[in-house]
Amino acid sequence: MIPAGRALRIVGDVHGDSGAFAIAAETDAFLVQLGDLVDDGPDTPGALRIMFRLIDEGRGLFLLGNHDFKLARALRGDQIFRPPHLEQTMAALAPGLAERALFEFLRAPAWIASKNLCFVHGGFHPAMLTEPPPPFPIKRPDALLARALYGQTTGRVTGAGKPERLITWVDTVPDGMTVYCGHDRRSTDDRPYTRRGKLGGTTVFLDTGAGKGGHLSWIDIRKEEALKQ
């Protein structure tokens, strides 16, 4: 899915920040967006149009994030809880754009992995190195897809009413591998947060709050450092 021999631009959660995403998209590198294109920010339709233009031009792809997953289920007509931000996103999508969004969400990969790099929205699991991402589920995601979408959750909620998340999974990243993910806003200095695990692998968290009062972050990878099969 990612062309061989191309430099890469890895872009964190967009959340409807189309202005910042338009800047990130101005690159000759192949763009990999880590999921959560939609909700929260001022212009989800604009963010989707930018991504779809990159896909049509063969210049990028996006991973399935938990917000994209929920929007896809709503667009498909599934009976799900629809929080206010989802209702606002649904109302903002013109019919043609909604149809294209559903088409792209249903075929978006939940992770991409090679010997040295892994791209995933929520959280890594070693099984992602040997198992391909599954097709979009009919009902609830299985455990591996849930890890990719939601990260590592405890089943409890925080005082803010959000699911409690752990990142002990970073200790399972093999030596020599770098995982790029979004979902968890772990940065304390508005820069991507990098953490080295117990096995020697590296994880880079790129969510720095775009569409939620922060900004959009991205990292460029030279073609010499890109995916090795």
Per-residue pLDDT tens digits for 64-80: 999 999 999 999 999 99
Pairing label, strands 111-113, 117-120: antiparallel
Q: Give the per-residue pLDDT at 157.
A: 82
Q: Give the per-residue pLDDT at 160.
A: 67
Pair of tokens at residue 77: 């007509």
- Indicate whether 36 belongs to any domain: yes
Q: Give the per-residue pLDDT at 115.
A: 86
State the Cα–Cα distance between residues 190 and 145, nearest whole angstrom.
Answer: 28
Is a pLDDT exceeding 80 seen at residue 229?
Answer: no
Q: Give the per-residue pLDDT at 178.
A: 97
158 — pLDDT class (breaks 50, 70, 90): confident
Residues pairing with 152 in the sheet? 166
- Indicate whether 1 belongs to any domain: no
Considering its fold, how many domains does the chain have in total?
Answer: 1
CATH code assigned at 101? 3.60.21.10
Per-residue pLDDT tens digits for 19-42: 999 999 999 999 999 999 999 889
Q: Give the per-residue pLDDT at 163.
A: 80
Pair of tokens at residue 166: 């752990």
Domain hosting 181: range is 8-223
Pair of tokens at residue 211: 């569409």
5 — pLDDT class (breaks 50, 70, 90): confident
Q: Give the per-residue pLDDT at 199.
A: 97
Per-residue pLDDT tens digits for 160-199: 677 888 999 999 999 999 999 999 999 999 999 999 999 9
| Strand ranges inside the chain, DSSP E | 8-11, 30-33, 60-62, 111-113, 117-120, 152-157, 163-166, 178-181, 193-196, 202-205, 218-221
- Indicate whether 3 belongs to any domain: no
| Torsion sign over Cα 111, 184, 83, 61 | negative
Per-residue pLDDT tens digits for 101-157: 999 999 999 999 998 999 999 999 999 999 999 999 998 899 999 999 999 988 888
- Indicate whether 105 belongs to any domain: yes
- Indicate whether 228 belongs to any domain: no
Total residues found in the chain within this entry: 229
- Indicate whether 200 belongs to any domain: yes
Q: Give the per-residue pLDDT at 162.
A: 78
Which of residues 225 and 46 earns the better pLDDT score?
A: 46
| Torsion sign over Cα 8, 11, 63, 54 | negative
User: Are 165 and 173 spatial neighbours (Cβ–Cβ below 8 Å)?
Assistant: no
- Indicate whether 48 belongs to any domain: yes
- Indicate whether 211 belongs to any domain: yes
